[in-house]
């Protein structure tokens, strides 16, 4: 896997702290820094997600992918899955994630709670590289609800 991240904040650009990531699979992701009122030249303009937001979003995508795949492999009638991630970060640099809560909403027909709980646990403990990596610095908790559809 590879990725090239390039600063777009040179002279004459809209944001002084914008970046473009080009992934090895040929996709592009833009990122921007938070505005810095004390030193505007060192801040972004809120034109795209922050880099740490993309880390959190990637973790959500990784674990939701696992949960859906595990449920489908178990022949459950899963029709939707979302996960809302809320987090806290350290106050000082490096401002790593210290707490992350993942709240899943799984939609389907007749999916047992035990199957959802097992799928989340398997993702968290075995399959989701991103959450396993973040668990080195963050306390990760999970919850879920099942919506019958």
Residue 12's pLDDT is: 61
* 113-122 helix and 51-73 helix, angle to the nearest 10 degrees: 130
Distance CA 97, CA 106 (A): 25
- What the block records as the tokens of 139 is 């306390």
Average pLDDT, stretch 8-14? 71
| Topology (CATH) of 51-148 | GMP Synthetase; Chain A, domain 3 (3.30.300)
Instruction: Please name which of 53, 39, 49, 41 lies closest in space to residue 17, comparing C-alpha atoms.
Output: 41
* Residues contacting residue 123 through CB under 8 Å, at least 6 positions apart: 62, 63, 66, 67, 70, 131
pLDDT in tens, 81-138: 999 999 999 999 999 999 999 999 999 999 999 999 999 999 999 999 999 999 999 9
Residue 13 has pLDDT above 90, yes or no: no
Backbone angles phi, psi at 10, to 5 degrees: -65, 175
The string of pLDDT tens digits covering residues 24-61 is 999 999 999 999 889 887 888 898 999 999 999 999 99
**What ranges do the domains of the chain cover?**
3-42, 51-148
pLDDT reported for residue 11: 61
């Amino acid at each position: 896997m590879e990725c090239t991240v390039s600063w777009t904040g040179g002279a004459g650009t809209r944001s002084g702290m914008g970046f473009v990531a080009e992934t090895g699979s040929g996709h592009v992701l833009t990122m921007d820094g938070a505005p810095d009122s004390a030193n505007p030249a060192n801040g972004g303009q809120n034109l795209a997600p922050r880099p740490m937001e993309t880390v959190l979003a990637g973790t959500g995508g990784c674990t939701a992918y696992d949960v859906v795949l595990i449920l489908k492999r178990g022949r459950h009638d899963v029709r939707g899955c979302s996960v809302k991630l809320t987090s806290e970060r350290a106050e000082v640099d490096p401002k790593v994630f210290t707490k992350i809560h993942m709240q899943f909403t799984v939609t389907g027909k007749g999916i047992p709670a035990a199957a959802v709980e097992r799928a989340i646990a398997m993702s968290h403990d075995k399959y989701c590289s991103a959450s396993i990596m973040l668990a080195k610095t963050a306390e990760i908790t999970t919850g879920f609800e099942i919506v019958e559809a």
